[in-house]
Chain A
Amino acid sequence: MSRLARKAAAAAALLAVSGMAVAQSAPPPPAAPWNLDPFPSTYRPLPRSDLMLRHATILDGAGKRIDDGDVLMHDGRIVAVGTHLPNPGGAREVDATGRWVTPGVIDVHSHDGTYVLPLTTIDRESSDVAELNDPNVADTWIETAVNPQDTAFDRALQHGVTTLQILPGSSPIFSGRSVVVHPVHANTVAAMKVAGAQQGFKMACGENPKEEGASSHRGPTSRQGEIAYIRRAFLDAQDYRRDWDKFRAGTGPAPKRDMKREALAGILAGDIHINMHCYRADDMATMLSVAREFGFHITAFHHAVEVYKIPDLLRADGVCAVVWGDWWGYKMEALDAIRAEAPLLDRAGVCVTMHSDSPAEGQRLNIEAAKAAAAGRRVGAVVPEERMIRWITSNPARVLGLADHVGTLAPGYNADVVLWSANPFSVYAKADLVIVDGAIAFDRAAPPRTPVSDFELGRRAVQP
């Protein structure tokens, strides 16, 4: 059972006994409220099939390349990775000669389901990308907005994405909780939700929140104002967390639940993991100071276009850099973005991850990695393919706290696997098979005959 599920079960058990007048023995301490999940996953894997992929070029996601390699999957797990593997169970064999096999692509920064195309003027007035009534919307859960009929999920899956994290947008400072999903078709986000993922949270610094503050007159209008706001909020959350700690230790009364404070208390407790939107090196350095001041950990800086200026700071604190391949220049804090950032960070020993932030880029994280690597080559920072693949597999798995489950092809890992028609860093490569949890979720040889999303169904403009 995952840590989150365990805590939820403990909480449920507590609720069950709390009705009794007297506890028989010392009850377990009440669960921290920030660990309760009011929107539990109902995801079930698609019908699984045992598969043996033969004679492929394998990039295992852990840094190893195997030529003429085999991958055996059984009952949703990877059983073996190697060469000339036996197939005692008689799993269906797929000849992958000339093709490549990698772990499923993981996108840790998506707005799919909330930035739903086509956009209309309605989105301009009231978008689901982020709640904007306050700079602190820590009580929002993005999964309560996700429209599973977004065609972007289907496009992502067809391009090899097996896991993605949907984050709220960056206009608030405390933007709310994220959700991790498989891009499989379902009618509710709960049925896509990955069970057991750590609880993610989005925070933002820099231009976006201050512009929102200036235009809405509801928040800080400067970088220093943002940081002051963040410190005030954590100071307050420290008190709140202390009240809960006392209650849970049996030395204080039950605090009144406050969903904004409890999310921040969960961050302080290390149970809720921060995905921090920042661009500039100085912004990130400041946030690392704030994290040290209040004793919390930042899981990853997202966008993070200037980490190449301060790689030692992220490396020292074990913070991942979530970056693009080639986005730059469109706003002041993105002026110093460089294409070679990922190879430079890889070389510096920083955990580096590609991300999309867009339903278009979300289909081609492999190509984003290829572009970044090419720019690295230009300045002498050469990264081999078996390391590049980590930028879109095992490193993002680490950001999501799923590094022991997905992102690597090794025995015991979930069978999230992509069979590519060619080298995945080629623009000509296609995802031939996309396997999620041991089930073939997309087969290019047998594509869906009707649109996957209800949105596209029955629309004349879509039909040939």
Chain B
Amino acid sequence: MSPMLRTLLAGTALIAAMPVVAEPIAIIHAKAWTMQSAAPVSDATIVVDKGKVVSVQAGGAVPAGATVIDAAGQNVTPGVMNAATQVGLVEVSSADDTRDAAATGGALGAAFDVSAALNGNSALVDVARSDGMSRALSYPGASENVPFAGEAATIRLREGADILDRERVALFAVIGGNAWRKAAASRAAQWGILRAALDEAKVPGMPSSDQAILNRRDIVAVRQVLAGAIPLAIMTNRESDVRAAIKLAADYHIRVVIVGGAEAWRAADALAAAHIAVVLDPDANLPNTFDQLGTRQDNAVILAHAGVTIAFGRVGGALQENYNAGLAVREGAGIAVSNGLPYGEALKAITVNPMAIWRPGLAAGAIAAGQDADLVVWDGDPLEPSTNAVAMLVEGRQVSLDNRQAALARRYLGAATAPTQP
């Protein structure tokens, strides 16, 4: 938010209904990573109006009346998108009552829709935004209705409580071992139930039998997958499960996305041939479970080289994927580059690729005329974790990069004066 706009808002804070008028904004002298070509556009002027990019052009003119942000030659990228987090659904992970990510009890399985729980006022949201994240997929955690977790939502980190971008963008299922919670004794049972559920949903009408796997609510979600409206996101890691997922996609003619995919590199060619995308953690190089024995640091490199669409999510494990959802995904992309992924591919894996996976067909994730105007001005290389976002637009509006941590740091900066030497 510009100082002027902040002042304006402070002065009118009580007029709750007052809309913030989006004005044209021009980012000038940008090294613009448009995601339309491999190299950035130098000295670009990016013009934004009504929430969309109007133009991006080297040395382009600034429209009359536009607010100007001078990038001073620094990198400007599309807003970062984290392809799998639970931001907006989790506050204090050790305190159950502050977590809304999973339907751990009750009737909902496939029909559990996380979007109703999203909280834009979460402290985690501010931290992620200040690290340049403008969008993310927030996914449901495992439920007791094995193997379904529920339906994920994409979020958009505009300011305010409402961060919903689109609800029900994917149906999540969990297959395989988990060190701490293995709801079904065997993955054979998990696959069996998943296939039986798909078979059941294929039959028109509602199941009447007591033996039905899906209830009336769940069946609607599963039919969305069968109709091709949303993908089935399978959270799984082991090679045998990755290959089983490829077969499932072929057998039911459904779109499948692998989330996790620690051993996906072992099936890279098959995934590429089946056009199955993988959302993975490029940090991972240790096997958290036996399903991940083949975890290796260049998973992303091998997959991308084989032609698999990759995006980065759940980066850094249970803590980082939520608490530093913006920073961890950038750091992960940097780690992928340091292990051989071309820079442009890494940038795609946190911008256009996650959009293509979770919001296919939407003009977003790139910098071009007509694209969603989510933009970040950085003070360095965006894939370096030591780089800070210095200005950011979401939906064409400049947003605050402040957060609780920065407020605490400012409050106590005075306590941190150098001691007087005796």
Interface residue ranges, A against B (CB under 8 Å): 117-121, 123-124, 151-152, 155, 207, 308-312, 315, 326-332, 335-340, 344-345, 347-349, 358-360, 363, 367, 370-371, 373-375, 377-381, 425-430, 456, 459, 461-462
Contacts and interface: CB of A to CB of B under 8 A. Distances in A.
Shortest Cβ-Cβ A-B pairs, 3 listed: A427-B334, A461-B294, A331-B94
Nearest to A374: B386
B239 interface: yes
B318 to A, nearest CB: 8
Interface string B103-125: 00000000000000000000110
Interface string B398-410: 0000000110111
B416 A308 contact: yes
B179 A427 contact: no
A367 B385 contact: yes
Contacts of B384: 370, 426-428
Contacts, number: 166
Nearest to A429: B338
B338 A427 contact: yes
Nearest to B240: A461
Contact of A378 (B92, B179, B388): B388
A349 B416 CA distance: 8
B289 A118 contact: yes
Given A338-B408, A381-B416, A371 B327 contact: yes
Contact of B324 (A124, A326, A358, A367): A326
B93 A330 contact: yes
B415 A308 contact: yes
A379 B413 CA distance: 8
Interface stretch (B55-63, B149-157, B280-288): B280-288
Contacts of B91: 329
Given A326-B324, A349-B418, A379-B406, A308 B412 contact: yes
Interface size, B (range): 35 or more
Given A315-B419, A377-B388, A430 B338 contact: yes
B398 to A, nearest CB: 17
19 contacts: A118-B292, A120-B179, A121-B179, A329-B93, A332-B92, A336-B408, A337-B405, A344-B413, A344-B416, A371-B385, A374-B385, A378-B388, A378-B406, A379-B406, A381-B409, A427-B335, A428-B337, A429-B338, A461-B263
A349 B324 CA distance: 28
Nearest to B180: A124
Main secondary structure of the interface of B (DSSP, over half): loop
A119 B291 CA distance: 11
A367 B327 CA distance: 12
Interface in B264-290: 266, 283-290
B316 interface: yes
B172 interface: no
A117 B237 CA distance: 15
A332 B95 contact: yes
Nearest to B339: A430
Nearest to B122: A329
Contacts of A373: 386
Contacts of B415: 308-312, 344, 348
Interface string B374-387: 00000000011111
A214 to B, nearest CB: 13
Interface in B289-309: 289-290, 292-294, 296
A332 B334 CA distance: 31
Given A308-B412, A348-B416, A462 B294 contact: yes
A360 B416 contact: no
B135 to A, nearest CB: 21
B127 to A, nearest CB: 8
A124 B182 CA distance: 12
Contacts of B386: 367, 370-371, 373-374, 425-427
B360 interface: no
Interface of B: 91-95, 123-124, 127, 179-180, 182, 238-239, 263, 266, 283-290, 292-294, 296, 316-317, 319-320, 323-324, 327, 331, 334-335, 337-338, 383-388, 405-406, 408-410, 412-413, 415-419
A150 B319 CA distance: 22
Contacts of B292: 118
B92 A118 contact: no
Nearest to B410: A379
B294 A330 contact: no
A331 B93 contact: yes
B11 to A, nearest CB: 26
Contacts of A309: 412, 415
A118 B294 CA distance: 11
B64 to A, nearest CB: 34
A203 B320 CA distance: 26
Contacts of B95: 331-332
A357 to B, nearest CB: 10
Nearest to B324: A326
Contacts of B409: 308, 338, 340, 344, 375, 378-379, 381
Nearest to A329: B323
B385 A370 contact: yes
Contact of B293 (A367, A426, A462): A462
Given A340-B409, A374-B387, A378-B406, 5 more contacts: A117-B288, A309-B415, A330-B92, A347-B418, A428-B337
Given A360-B283, A360-B317, A374-B386, A459 B413 contact: no
B405 A328 contact: yes
Given A348-B419, A367-B385, A371-B385, A117 B323 contact: no
Query: Considering residues A119, A329, A347, A377, which has the most beta carbons from chain B within 10 angstroms of its beta carbon?
Result: A329
A347 B417 contact: yes
A331 B92 CA distance: 5
B418 A428 contact: no
Nearest to B239: A461
Contacts of A456: 293
